[in-house]
A = this chain, B = another copy of it.
Amino acid sequence: MGKKFNTSTPSGFPEFSPAEERVRQQWIGVIAETFSSYGFAPITTPLVEREENLLGKGGNPKEIYALKRVMDGDGDSSHSGNTLRFDHTVPLALYVARHQNELTFPFKRYAIGPVFRGERAQKGRFRQFDQCDIDIIGMENLSVANDGLMPAIIIEIFKKLLPNNEFVVRINNRKILLGFFADLGVSADEAKKVLDIVDDLEKLPKEKIVEQLLEVGIDGENIDKLFDFINIKGSNDEVVTKLKEIGGCESFCEGVAELEEVVSTLNNMSVNENNFVIDLRIARGLDYYTGTVYETTLIGHEGLGSICSGGRYEDLASVFTNKKMPGVGISIGLTRLLSQLLELDILDDAMVSHLDILFVPADENQAGKCLELASKLRKAGHKTDVYLEKKKLKKKLDYADKIKVQYVCIIGENELADRVVQIKNMKTGEKENVKDSDVLAFFE
């Protein structure tokens, strides 16, 4: 291969083949289009942020990459302290902090692009990966109805991207869980630990969970109550009704009211109830979330974990500004998800065609006619190419085979004289001679 050079990609930094990349771009296209159809505006912040800002908002110094020029020529120190972003949230907090006086709130933005984490390289873990985020940021406050938009958007996106798969957005509210724990007499400190344990419910066997709960000081009776509670089932309206009956402290009731508003917002938007469900087991590990939380499960592929998660937070940027900015957001870990789905081979093949029509002149004398007709088809919206190399016809048709184009238009000496094109459907093998002047109509 590479003479003395190692031409492989550095460990943990993914590359995509043309077929994979077409899927990736198709996904990004659908995601971006859906985000903007809901009024989210794209912003692009640099891939590089100041080290102290990333560390200041919870970045892990063992995973953050700093930039250093290979050879420092001129003692230019303005490069030092530059680091690669590890998520889209810290850059958003910085963006909102520096533009708070120009922005109109609620501020709805989307961000799609790579982030970097210097983790140990292992299968399914990437050091560079794409994240697709939306967030709605309020100034001082933000209506809970916004929390209802998020599941609608998740559902719309995955209905488009995975039309042959079923999935469900699972919704909960951390205020309900924390309120319920408080009512059991669990202290605030213990409650955080219990949340973390509950978050592992689906990964660990029940005995293991019980053991951990006992360890943090929850007694057997309360553990039973907890399990009864988080296993409450029913239609979304039924669950809300049961929660209202149970009742509880202020936090609990606030959480239930918020959950009810999320469900009614989704109903107002005519979102199919098969695609979202209240699930009191959803806790989300991060302290960051303070109210509504979401996870998304691909039915039959639960092992993937949540394919899109997010939630409500009370405080986006207080590290960087004195203003209180609550928000709600979701994130799709695109690179990881796509690499898993490609491996499971559950993506729709129709999505990966890249060329519609290839013109093949038998020799150079017909190249001009091919170029002329290809230009017309391209203007009509068909992805069209002309094979221009001086090869034998057999070789040219091999090329068409290999790139898996659906239609080949062959023009030889006779076709040129008769003003026709031989059109071959590569899927069916059918051939047909079509008049020059009818080629455009043929592909309509």
Residue positions of A touching B, CB distance < 8 A: 1-3, 5-18, 21-22, 24-25, 32, 36-39, 41-53, 55-56, 61-74, 76, 78-79, 81-84, 94-95, 97-100, 104, 106, 108-109, 114, 118, 120-121, 127-128, 138, 141-143, 145-146, 152, 264-265, 268-270, 319-322, 354-355, 358, 367-369, 371-372, 374-375, 378, 381-385, 388-390, 399, 402-403
- The answer to whether A264 touches B375, judged by C-beta atoms less than 8 angstroms apart, is no
Measured in the bound complex, the distance between the Cα atoms of B106 and A390 in whole Å is: 11
Contacts of A372 in B (CB 8 A): 268-270
- Given A118-B79, A372-B269 in contact, is the A16-B1 Cβ separation under 8 Å? no
CB distance from A388 to the nearest CB of B (A): 4
- The answer to whether A358 touches B67, judged by C-beta atoms less than 8 angstroms apart, is no
Contacts of A264 in B (CB 8 A): 368
Measured in the bound complex, the distance between the Cα atoms of B48 and A383 in whole Å is: 31
- Given A69-B61, A69-B118 in contact, is the A2-B321 Cβ separation under 8 Å? yes
Q: Who on chain B is nearest to A375 by CB?
A: B269
Contacts of A83 in B (CB 8 A): 70
- The answer to whether B82 touches A71, judged by C-beta atoms less than 8 angstroms apart, is no
- The answer to whether A389 touches B66, judged by C-beta atoms less than 8 angstroms apart, is no
A66 contact from B70, B114, B319, Cβ within 8 A: B70
- The answer to whether A67 touches B46, judged by C-beta atoms less than 8 angstroms apart, is no
- The answer to whether B67 touches A62, judged by C-beta atoms less than 8 angstroms apart, is no
Contacts of A118 in B (CB 8 A): 67, 69, 79
Contacts of A44 in B (CB 8 A): 15-16, 21, 24
- The answer to whether B21 touches A146, judged by C-beta atoms less than 8 angstroms apart, is no
Contacts of A138 in B (CB 8 A): 389
- The answer to whether B389 touches A142, judged by C-beta atoms less than 8 angstroms apart, is yes
Q: Who on chain B is nearest to A69 by CB?
A: B118
- Given A16-B44, A25-B42, A63-B69 in contact, is the A383-B37 Cβ separation under 8 Å? yes
Measured in the bound complex, the distance between the Cα atoms of B52 and A382 in whole Å is: 42
- The answer to whether B98 touches A84, judged by C-beta atoms less than 8 angstroms apart, is no
Could you name 27 residue pairs across A and B whose Cβ atoms are closer than 8 Å?
A: A1-B321, A2-B97, A5-B53, A5-B319, A10-B81, A11-B78, A15-B44, A16-B44, A17-B43, A24-B44, A38-B378, A38-B383, A39-B385, A48-B127, A67-B68, A67-B84, A74-B120, A79-B118, A104-B399, A106-B388, A145-B367, A146-B388, A265-B371, A268-B368, A268-B371, A269-B372, A269-B374
Contacts of A100 in B (CB 8 A): 1
Contacts of A64 in B (CB 8 A): 69-70
CB distance from A39 to the nearest CB of B (A): 3
- The answer to whether B46 touches A18, judged by C-beta atoms less than 8 angstroms apart, is no
CB distance from A24 to the nearest CB of B (A): 7
